[in-house]
Structure 1
Amino acid sequence: MARFPEGFLWGASTAAHQVEGNNTNSDFWLMENLEGSVFKEPSGSAVDHYNRFKSDITEMARLGLNSYRFSIEWARIEPEEGQFEASEIEHYREVLLACKENKITPIVTLHHFSSPQWLIRLGGWESADTPARFARYCAHVMRELGELIPYVCTINEANISIGIKKIMKRYALKSGSPGAQVGMNMENMAEKMQKYFMGLSKAFGVPPTEVHSFLAPRSEEGLAVIFQAHVEARAAIRQISPQTKVGVTLSLYDIQSVPGGEENARDAWQEEFVQFVPYLNEDDFFGLQNYTRAVYGPDGLLPVPDDAETTQMGNEFYPEALGAVVRYVSTHLKMPIMITENGIATDDDTRRIAFINQALKGVQDCITDGFQVLGYMHWSLMDNFEWQLGFSKTFGLIEVDRNTQERTTKPSGIHLGEIAKENAI
């Protein structure tokens, strides 16, 4: 593999709720512990990264990785509206200092799907007041920690509700199409949902139709709320911590077409990416998250071919997607790209290694052709809590025995680290 540019960021990503454990003030904690929950299991102590972050970060450095994308949990920082917890700020200061001590560049995400319970009670991600509330939280974090944060992603996968809506529609049609790029439990969904939403309504104290968590079905107005939250957060961050580079991440498929499907593919790109470009033009970088492709025909999205290799998530094994999406995004955004998530859920680590190699070959070709890519963050650092699917999906470079919380680095983690070290010489 050809060399990558000097200063290229090599790392892995996590999300607070998926790895820290005991995120008791978040909406997801409440939802996953309800009777009749659509979550296959609760997160519980997850992989105890909240207490084990120092050794986890040290292991990243030992492998040769030089960056770490992780999220700060809003529900910990502001468990009640306007009540900011100094002890939790200090916790994340320790995480950032552990990165500094290990010469790891932190890339901080300020919202990765989970939200404070109080926000949902006040209208959640459909409320016109949420952007200001989110910007206030971001301002507090950056006022306290900004000097330690060189890169910040305001919101993870701000467009994810579009993909969720599509996967729910595809499931209803039983089309065998690609899975969503987030863990959705679609088993017996229709019969579960009525009881589940009644439980949510009681727990949050709002009507069932007004439980607007980040991953809930989204109106057009709600989608605008999310992107406005990014805009207001970006302004607040720049005022307080002007040296910090600000971006947002989007979930993007490599959208392709067969003859007759070109218009459908163009419409999909417009819906999932192009319509949001005006919100992003003033960002410092773009966070690109890709796992597979989506192919459109004359009648819409085509199913994954029967003979295709698939991952635990039902996605087609297609690492070539990453380079293609870098190229497409670069035709619309004139800014550096950070690959903030890319990976596969599989029990066969040899396939993870093959995926990494092929994905990075595509990235290297993009760089050779003049596209600016800042770094590659593999998803994920560790096997973790895949939302509604629980702990059944293994994305990690590091295996975790949840009975003992013992870590075992997989060959793929060693392999990615070796690539990073070769490029550091």
Structure 2
Amino acid sequence: MLDPFGREAQELIRREFGDLLVLLEKIPGSVSLGEALSLVRWMLESKEPPEELLTVDSLDELMDLFRFYALLGALAFSPYGLEVEFVREATSKLYRARIERKRSLEESLLKVKPAEGIPERDRKILERAMDRSLPEEEREKLRLKYRIPLSEFIGLWEGSLKDVYIRGGYAYLRWNDVLKLWEMAFERRFDRAVSLLSDVRDELPEFYERLAGELEKLAGEYFKERLEKLGKVGTKPLRFELFPPCVKEALKGVPAGMRNYAITVLLTSFLSYARLCPNPPRKDVRIKDCVSDLRVVEEEILPVIIEAGNRCKPPLFEDQPHEIKNIWYHLGFGLTDKPTLEDSGNSTWYFPPNCDKIRANAPQLCKPDKHCRGIKNPLTYYLRRLAREEKSGENQGGDNGG
């Protein structure tokens, strides 16, 4: 299977199983933990996928699809952890390598077509056809291979449109550019699938929870140096500059009518999970499961919430002083203004609302930026940007010998 999110794969799932949940119910009887892990375990030993994973016989395509979706099911139990980054990176590299070997994107999730309809004069200029000194290898890199509808292209492309040949409602792309575009599309579809499955993880067989435990071990080993150097995400100070736009809007203060949702619902849940437990092991997690001292809440999280509330018009906590108790209630301590750590669990520690709920309840907060593409929850936005910053920092450190 060249692309587990591609048209051929999705048609196979519909034809054989009807929907994804039925497929996930069938997988544990057909795939072992080791078989599923084989799609990603190679990352611990090699930078490139092994030969045995690059060629899949047509008779084994369904089993190959089982292994990939088994990993997605497992990630439903760890939707914000390093396991997601580990599996996303491994499978993206694997399926890209398969696509490169076949030199075709016809079966992929991208709606691409052969690059037809380019005037000959334009093609000669763009492909430098008259430059006789250009080696054939370089000529091949310059050839426009595919075209993609501009409406789909714009939603994925992060570069300048000046670098792209556009004609008749299509963007025309060279092979390397279309591969990068595929990677973007794959990663977004991957994250969306994990987010959707996390909402139904209680319905999944126990097999996936066990697989999640094995993925946690592999990801911990793969990211060992990063964890030792940077510490786990849950122990680091908040990076306000990496917050999603909706949270930044809430921090500015909001008018009456939006205050309770922006401050008590969104800001309280986002700040607490982002700081204390970005990768909750289960839905009923409590703050006392994540920290042993309430000072981090009282000194780092609560002051930010109160400051944002005071910026509201009128100031939330002057207008509604009892709302402090409601903050603690949403943090899981019950309706109190003097909690102890042992009170954790007296109420539900509310998880950040998904983007669609924010748009429905407080549309003024939703001002998407380029990083919002493919994101379904503000916590995902923050953790993805945080991971990219850390990875970028590691690469720069490596370049400098650090």
Provide TM-score, normalisation by structure 2: 0.21
Structure of greater Rg = 2
More helix by share: 2
Higher relative contact order (CA 8 A, sep 6+): 1
How high is the TM-score relative to the length of structure 1?
Answer: 0.20
Higher strand share: 1
